């Protein structure tokens, strides 16, 4: 597929891509990784890429597109607020937002008609719906990508409009509408390439981890960029015990740093040397992940993709408020395969100690889990998704 670049009027014509999806990093960053990968592949063949990102001005996608120098177009969209009570689905807020959908489709249709993309990539989030429908109306091939094990509402709405429906896990295939299964491909969830190139020794030097005992396993604890009060509090309840068995790198979030430092001040010097506390891990993240033997974290789609691609043993503490409880489903999927441990019911210091303890005291168990995690990983997911984009263009050109 590397030499196949359909679309345009000649081999030298720019390849035109509309990308839509956003609201959260889980939708935005896989799209960005796919854009970068397509751009590199086109450049190797001597062809340029013209990208237009379509989203909401208030969404993360607008900031990411601006930072990357990608032209951006805004459309109106509506958000359907989930509820187990059907009567609550017709709340005033939902009714108001439902009226925004046709307006957004009209705006998106004009954008697609004017830009004339070779293909449209939709990665989820409510903004993807009007743009995906507009692609169908304008007869431009649509590729939908689902990051999670379960289908998001937006992607479910677009399933029948997609020329190719890309999923991150085989387990998602039976959840697709029957009409969409024939066009489905398993690509995995694109992972930033820099995450896969870390070096453990670089983390030791960059973070000055001079008190770490390299004969012990290293645990990386993270609640995401902002940190997690739940994870921090649960960790605090087992910290002295944990440091008796491992080195710990704890990314707690800037807002929680002072409180965690106060707690760490009471650690015995021998244990304190094995504890590195930080509000945020930036460019050192690939090296920190390379050093880590066990990761304690949330179970968002991006985290799952990175840890399985790297083959890391993990203990997941799902975010209970995630849309559709998707983090719990992600974590349960890996736990059922023996590729992770998940705290799906009780989240407490005792439950966390029971989950992480066997991974620290039994290296064979830890390595076995890491290997099973790696079996679920797809480090080449971005290339697979680019293949799907080019395939969709080829199907359209062949009609």
What pLDDT score does 2 carry?
A: 39
Q: What confidence tens digit (pLDDT) does each residue in 151-210 have?
A: 888 899 999 999 999 999 999 999 999 889 999 999 999 999 999 999 999 999 999 999
What pLDDT score does 16 carry?
A: 98
The answer to whether the CB of 111 falls within 8 A of the CB of 75 is yes
Task: Report how far residue 381's alpha carbon sits from residue 369's, in angstroms, rounded to the nearest whole number.
Answer: 21
Output the CA–CA distances (angstroms, integers) from residue 180 to 45, 144, 174, in the order listed: 32, 11, 10
What pLDDT score does 3 carry?
A: 43
Q: What confidence tens digit (pLDDT) does each residue in 2-59 have?
A: 344 554 445 579 999 999 998 888 899 999 999 999 999 999 999 999 999 999 999 9
Task: Report how far residue 318's alpha carbon sits from residue 330's, in angstroms, rounded to the nearest whole number.
Answer: 8
What pLDDT score does 77 carry?
A: 83
**Which CATH architecture describes the domain 15-190+380-397?**
3-Layer(aba) Sandwich (3.40)
What pLDDT score does 93 carry?
A: 61
Per CATH, the number for 193-376 is 3.40.50.2000
For residue 364, pLDDT over 80 is answered with yes
Task: Report how far residue 87's alpha carbon sits from residue 338's, in angstroms, rounded to the nearest whole number.
Answer: 40
Beta strands in 11-132 (DSSP E): 15-20, 49-55, 72-74, 119-122
**DSSP labels, 222-245:** E--TT--HHHHHHHHTTHHHHHTT
Whole-structure pTM value: 0.87
In which element (H, E) is residue 262 found?
Answer: helix 257-264
What pLDDT score does 284 carry?
A: 96
Q: Where in the chain are the domains?
A: 15-190+380-397, 193-376
* Helices 349-361 + 229-236 axis angle, to 10: 70
Which residue intervals of 276-316 are DSSP H helices?
285-291, 301-310
* CA-CA-CA-CA torsion sign (373, 376, 378, 381): negative
């Amino acid at each position: 597929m590397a030499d196949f670049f359909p679309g345009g009027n000649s081999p030298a014509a720019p390849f035109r891509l509309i990308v839509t999806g956003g609201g959260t990093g889980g939708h935005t960053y896989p799209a960005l990784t796919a854009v970068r990968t397509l751009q590199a592949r086109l450049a190797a063949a001597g062809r340029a890429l013209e990208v237009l990102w379509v989203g909401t001005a208030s969404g993360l996608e607008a900031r990411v597109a601006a930072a990357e120098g990608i032209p951006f177009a805004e459309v109106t969209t509506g958000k359907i607020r989930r509820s187990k009570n059907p009567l609550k689905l017709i709340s005033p807020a939902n009714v108001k937002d439902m009226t925004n959908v046709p307006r957004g489709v009209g705006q998106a249709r004009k954008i697609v008609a004017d830009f004339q993309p070779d293909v449209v990539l939709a990665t989820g989030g409510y903004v993807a719906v009007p743009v995906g429908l507009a692609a169908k109306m304008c007869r431009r091939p649509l590729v939908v990508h689902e990051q999670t094990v379960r289908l998001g509402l937006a992607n479910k709405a677009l399933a029948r409009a997609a020329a190719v429906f890309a999923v991150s896990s085989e387990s998602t295939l039976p959840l697709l509408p029957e009409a969409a299964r024939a066009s489905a491909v398993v690509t995995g969830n694109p992972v930033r390439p820099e995450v896969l190139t870390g070096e453990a020794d670089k983390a030791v030097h960059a973070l000055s981890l001079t008190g770490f005992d390299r004969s012990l396993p290293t645990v990386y604890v993270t609640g995401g960029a902002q940190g997690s009060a739940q994870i921090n509090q649960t960790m605090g309840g087992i910290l002295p015990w944990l440091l008796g068995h491992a080195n710990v790198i704890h990314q707690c979030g800037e807002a929680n740093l002072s409180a965690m430092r106060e707690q760490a001040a009471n650690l015995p010097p021998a244990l304190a040397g094995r504890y590195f506390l930080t509000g945020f891990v930036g460019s050192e993240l690939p090296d920190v992940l390379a050093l880590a033997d066990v990761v304690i974290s949330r179970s968002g789609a991006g985290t799952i993709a990175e840890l399985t691609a790297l083959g890391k043993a993990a203990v997941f503490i799902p975010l209970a408020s995630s849309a559709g409880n998707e983090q719990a489903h992600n974590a349960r999927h890996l736990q059922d395969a023996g590729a992770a441990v998940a705290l799906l019911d009780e989240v407490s210091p005792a439950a966390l100690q029971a989950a992480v303890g066997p991974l620290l005291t039994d290296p064979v168990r830890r390595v076995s889990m890491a290997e099973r995690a790696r079996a679920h990983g797809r480090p080449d997911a971005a290339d697979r998704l680019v293949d799907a984009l080019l395939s969709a263009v080829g199907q359209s050109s062949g009609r």
